[in-house]
Amino acid sequence: MWNPRTGLLTIGGLVACAAAVAGCAATSDPSTASAAHRSTDLPVGNDPVELAAAEFTTTIDNPYWPMEPGTRWTYREVEGGDELKVVVVVTSATREIANGITARVVRDTVFRGDEIIEDTFDWYAQDAAGAIWYLGEETAEFENGKVTSRAGSFEAGVDGALPGIAVPGDPEAGMQYRQEYLAGEAEDNGEVFSTHAMADTPLGHYTDVLLTWDTISLEPDVAELKFYAPGVGPVLALGVAGGPGAREELIAIDTVPAGTGTQPLGQPG
């Protein structure tokens, strides 16, 4: 709950808050965001954007998700009794996106035991205002070592796909933005709830945390809370609507040698 003395929001209160607002927030249409939200200049829905490649960098130092090459985050995800390991590595590689922006390649690999079940290259770049933009992904799902699906892959500037915001440059409560957009395929949204939340994971207690409310226009009953700790990055995600209540928590953060994570999908190295 909100603590008026410290000005911090705790997880227990957030779950209650989320339950109270899930009916409206999870079904909200970002294309109808108010003028106040639009004044942040963050795109919502299928808003077109004109981005100048010269204003973007692969040096990503947004305090809520600093992406220093070689950084590795390891998460434990539990959903419906199934436990997975998620490993995210900021690689030394970059990629020029179809819209002309050069992006940092971040590797996101999901394991069940020792088996890879999903593997993804995500593409991010930071603008001059400090916002981290999400520019697309190449993803693959695996079963018994074989690719079973590449659904979800998209690239900004290809077949109508639009870039979105991963983390705003100067987040304020109430900001709304799209995270990704490919009509009928990827329509994810974010909203800033607070920059004064708290979160606990096996690695410790975090304060002054950025808390976002994430929804999917194509699955209006689904909602998730995500927590970003200053100087660390994403530390916790809680499914609060539309599912069995998944919890993904940071269990380790370390550094890896240059070149780690640049191998082909299915071979994270």
In the structure, what pLDDT confidence band is assigned to residue 29 with cuts at 50, 70 and 90? very low
Averaged pLDDT for residues 79-103: 95
Residue 91 host element (H or E): strand 82-96
User: Cα–Cα distance between 269 and 260 in angstroms, integer?
Assistant: 6
pLDDT digits (tens, 9 = 90+) for 246-263: 999 999 999 999 999 999
The reported pLDDT for the residue numbered 81 is 83
User: Cα–Cα distance between 123 and 138 in angstroms, integer?
Assistant: 9
pLDDT digits (tens, 9 = 90+) for 206-227: 999 999 999 999 999 999 999 9
Residues 213/157/137/219 CA torsion (nearest 10 deg): 40
User: Cα–Cα distance between 219 and 216 in angstroms, integer?
Assistant: 5
Task: Check pLDDT > 90 for residue 8.
Answer: no
Phi and psi (nearest 5°) for 31? -70, -15
Task: Check pLDDT > 80 for residue 176.
Answer: yes
Task: Check pLDDT > 80 for residue 267.
Answer: yes
Task: Check pLDDT > 70 for residue 13.
Answer: no
Averaged pLDDT for residues 43-48: 96
User: Cα–Cα distance between 68 and 255 in angstroms, integer?
Assistant: 9
Q: Which of 182, 243, 241, 177 is nearest to 210 (CA)?
A: 177
Of residues 31 and 248, the one with the higher pLDDT is 248
In the structure, what pLDDT confidence band is assigned to residue 40 with cuts at 50, 70 and 90? low
Residue % of the chain over a pLDDT of 70: 84
In the structure, what pLDDT confidence band is assigned to residue 36 with cuts at 50, 70 and 90? very low
In the structure, what pLDDT confidence band is assigned to residue 41 with cuts at 50, 70 and 90? confident
**Average pLDDT in the chain:** 87
The reported pLDDT for the residue numbered 3 is 38
For 66, residues 6+ apart whose C-beta sits below 8 A from its C-beta are 60, 231, 233
Residue 201: which region, alpha, beta or left (left: phi > 0; alpha: psi -120 to 50)? beta
CA atoms within 13 A on the CB side of 90: 22
Task: Check pLDDT > 80 for residue 12.
Answer: no
Global pTM reads: 0.87
Of residues 244 and 137, the one with the higher pLDDT is 137
Residue-level length of the chain: 269
Our measurement of the distance from residue 183's CA atom to the centroid of its chain's CA atoms, rounded to an integer in Å, reads 19
Beta bridge partners of 115: 112
